[in-house]
Structure 1
Amino acid sequence: MDTPETESTAPRVVILKTGSTYAGLRGQFGDFDEWFIRGLSPDLALVVVNVEAGESPGEPEDWDAIVITGSPAMVSDRAPWSEATATWIASAVRKEIPVLGVCYGHQLLAHALGGEAGYPPRGRETGTHSVELLPAAKTDPLFQSMPTRFKAHLTHRQSALQLPPGAVLLARNDFEPHQAFRVGTCAWGVQFHPEFNDAIMKAYLEVQAPDLEKENLDSAALIAGVEPAPEASSLLKRFSELVLQR
């Protein structure tokens, strides 16, 4: 577990690492936690805790904010480390500590708070696709100044099939009805990947290509369709600003 300088007055933000990317991508781009560190503000004191490996983040109130990464794991498998993390996340939300869950983190947040994560009927969503904000996003602290439609990088085989009670749906697209939601005042889940850049997205598709063809998806077209997604990536800076303002 990494630790920030003890004298730092910067907000302490824990990155809950819930898995690792493909080995070949790690050598080229680094791992999930490094992608988040690159996207979040350098004014935050960032600490990585590998919950999949059994590391403990301590108490939720030890942190000023929480970020939950993606994972190749499946929330519906209910691995012990994942279920323990879900319980911890639910406690953090009750204490109104800002949370941003991404992909697996989005699904785990939904599950932790009484929603459901699982396999969607249409299968896998992957590549660069459009995301549409819903009217509730116009007054949402994280999304309110984003464009109504923007490009985002996506790759997931599971989804948040049912949102938690009281959740506010913020974004959708033609494939996935629950692209983003908020619970309470400061806990967000996003299915898309603000930590990805277009090179990472293209590399994912190249690794996935054989499986995509078996699933009747056009891997060449998906690779050709990859483009920058700066608005989606801006979410990490936006979340950082919210934490710094608190």
Structure 2
Amino acid sequence: MVSLLYVCVRPELGAADAEHASFRRALGVDVVDRLDLLTDRLDTVDLSRYRGVVVGGSPFNVTDESKSPEQRRVEADLETLARQAIDGSVAAFFTCFSIGVVTRMLGGEVTTSTPEAASATVIRTTVAGDSDPVFGPSAPALTVFTAHKESAVALPSGAVLLATNDACPVQAYRVGTHLYTAQFHPEPTPRDFADRMTFYRTTGYFDPEEFDLVQGQVLSASVTEGAALLRRFAETFAN
């Protein structure tokens, strides 16, 4: 029986397909089911079949002044999934855009004042992160890929900070034992991330006139620990 589910929140089909493949490779399993929240509702799947759910990135932002009905529906479904993870019904690993959804749901504030351009960056584990089963083995620091326009102002109520850096203080946190959130992208290899950049060349994650330079920097980066986090997540909850 399939025990892992990838939740897609990307409107761009090519980027979504590639992200699905990245998660499958990073998680270390051949089969990861897929749910596209832009076309299918969360309630169309039986989450009891899955012991682990991973949520991909998106060009959406919770701070968007104008939101389409699709984005509002996606955010509502992600909140429902987060609540089920908090109560222990399913384990979930939210990434990128979706950490903002969880932060807002918990009463926290999301800001556009601490963005990070598309790049490889070093994040540091906290004392709590050092002892966490997913983040602990990567302590005291790891290099991951970031590309975001918004982030949490501060750790929301009820959350445990797992990783931080100077540019974006809230890089990852856990709520309870089953909900993990990360501002960064844990799943892509350098090649994956470089290819993803082509879909978002003019969307504000980097200077489009410096595309070749930024892509070259991404390709030369040594980034492996993000995938290790996901592998440990799968080993902890989905075996």
**Offset at residue 199 of structure 1 (A):** 1.3
SS at 1:145 equivalent: helix
Opposite residue 10 of structure 2, the aligned amino acid is: G
Distance 1:105 1:37 in 2: 19
**Offset at residue 22 of structure 1 (A):** 7.6
- Paired residues of 1:70 and 1:103 also in contact (CA < 8 A): yes
Counterpart of 1:236 (choices 209, 219, 230) is 230
SS at 1:152 equivalent: strand
The gaps in structure 2 that reach 5 residues or longer are none
Pairing 1:175–2:175 present: no
**Offset at residue 101 of structure 1 (A):** 0.5
SS at 1:48 equivalent: strand
Opposite residue 6 of structure 2, the aligned amino acid is: I
Correspondence for 1:114: 107
Once the two structures are superposed, residues 175-196 of structure 1 have per-residue CA deviations (whole angstroms, 9 ceiling, x without a partner) of: 1111110111121101111111
Pairing 1:213–2:233 present: no
Distance 1:234 1:177 in 2: 22
**Offset at residue 91 of structure 1 (A):** 2.8
- Paired residues of 1:21 and 1:72 also in contact (CA < 8 A): no
SS at 1:105 equivalent: helix
SS at 1:76 equivalent: coil
Give the TM-score normalised by structure 1. 0.79
Q: Which moved more, 1:151-160 or 1:102-111?
A: 102-111
Once the two structures are superposed, residues 189-209 of structure 1 have per-residue CA deviations (whole angstroms, 9 ceiling, x without a partner) of: 011111111112233456537
Pairing 1:54–2:54 present: no
Correspondence for 1:142: 134
Opposite residue 236 of structure 2, the aligned amino acid is: L
Once the two structures are superposed, residues 114-168 of structure 1 have per-residue CA deviations (whole angstroms, 9 ceiling, x without a partner) of: 323342x144432111111111111112111113122111111121334331111
Correspondence for 2:93: 100
Opposite residue 111 of structure 1, the aligned amino acid is: R
Correspondence for 2:50: 63
Pairing 1:155–2:147 present: yes
Matches within 5 A, 1:16-31: 16-21=7-12, 23=14, 30-31=17-18
- Paired residues of 1:21 and 1:31 also in contact (CA < 8 A): no
Distance 2:99 2:165 in 1: 16
**Offset at residue 31 of structure 1 (A):** 2.7
- Paired residues of 2:125 and 2:164 also in contact (CA < 8 A): yes
Correspondence for 1:185: 177
Give the TM-score normalised by structure 2. 0.82
Q: Which moved more, 1:198-207 or 1:149-158?
A: 198-207
- Paired residues of 1:116 and 1:161 also in contact (CA < 8 A): yes
- Aligned-residue sequence identity (percent) comes to 24
The gaps in structure 1 that reach 5 residues or longer are 1-7
SS at 1:75 equivalent: coil
Once the two structures are superposed, residues 26-81 of structure 1 have per-residue CA deviations (whole angstroms, 9 ceiling, x without a partner) of: 7xxx43222212211327x6321111223334454443222111111112346321
**Offset at residue 239 of structure 1 (A):** 0.7
Opposite residue 37 of structure 1, the aligned amino acid is: R
**Offset at residue 108 of structure 1 (A):** 2.2
